[in-house]
């Protein structure tokens, strides 16, 4: 299960509350966008799900965004124009899927096909670029 806890700017905590109870979630990654939305990506049985906590505290609910069935890791990064970068690891290769600020998805495309990759991380730049870091044994 995935829990969410918000630390306010004044240092107080909201308290951990369950945000996703969809079963045996293997991985979780989260990033915010400039409008205050929190994007949470979860990996369940090799499938990728996306859930949004809006700035008003409401949740959209987890929606499957990649049903490949063999995804092994996930990273997300929120961009300066409200876009979300979803980076997934599949059979040692890295795929990137861009969610535009309007909610549309671009579709997963291979961004690193070297193989043998076992972990991924991502971060955006102020001009909208994306840093993608990979881990190999």
Residue 67: the pLDDT is 81
pLDDT level of residue 26 (50, 70, 90 thresholds): confident
Residue 31: the pLDDT is 97
pLDDT level of residue 17 (50, 70, 90 thresholds): confident
What is the spatial distance between Cα 42 and Cα 20, in angstroms, rounded to a whole number?
A: 9
Answer whether residue 22 shows pLDDT above 90.
no
Q: What are phi and psi of 127, to 5 degrees?
A: -90, 5
Q: Mean pLDDT throughout 87-109?
A: 95
Is this model's pTM higher than 0.85 or not?
yes
pLDDT level of residue 97 (50, 70, 90 thresholds): very high
């Amino acid at each position: 299960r995935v829990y969410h806890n918000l630390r306010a700017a004044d240092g107080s905590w909201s308290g951990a509350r369950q945000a996703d109870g969809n079963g045996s979630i293997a991985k979780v990654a989260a990033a915010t966008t400039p409008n205050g939305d929190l994007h949470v990506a979860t990996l369940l049985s090799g499938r990728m799900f996306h859930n949004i906590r809006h700035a008003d505290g409401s949740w959209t609910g987890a929606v499957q965004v990649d049903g490949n069935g063999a995804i092994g890791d996930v990273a997300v990064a929120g961009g300066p124009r409200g876009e979300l970068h979803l980076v997934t690891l599949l059979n040692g290769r890295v795929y990137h899927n861009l969610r535009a600020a309007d909610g549309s998805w671009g579709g997963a495309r291979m961004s690193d096909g070297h193989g043998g990759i076992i972990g991924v991380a991502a971060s955006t730049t102020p001009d909208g670029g994306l840093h993608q870091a990979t881990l190999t044994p």
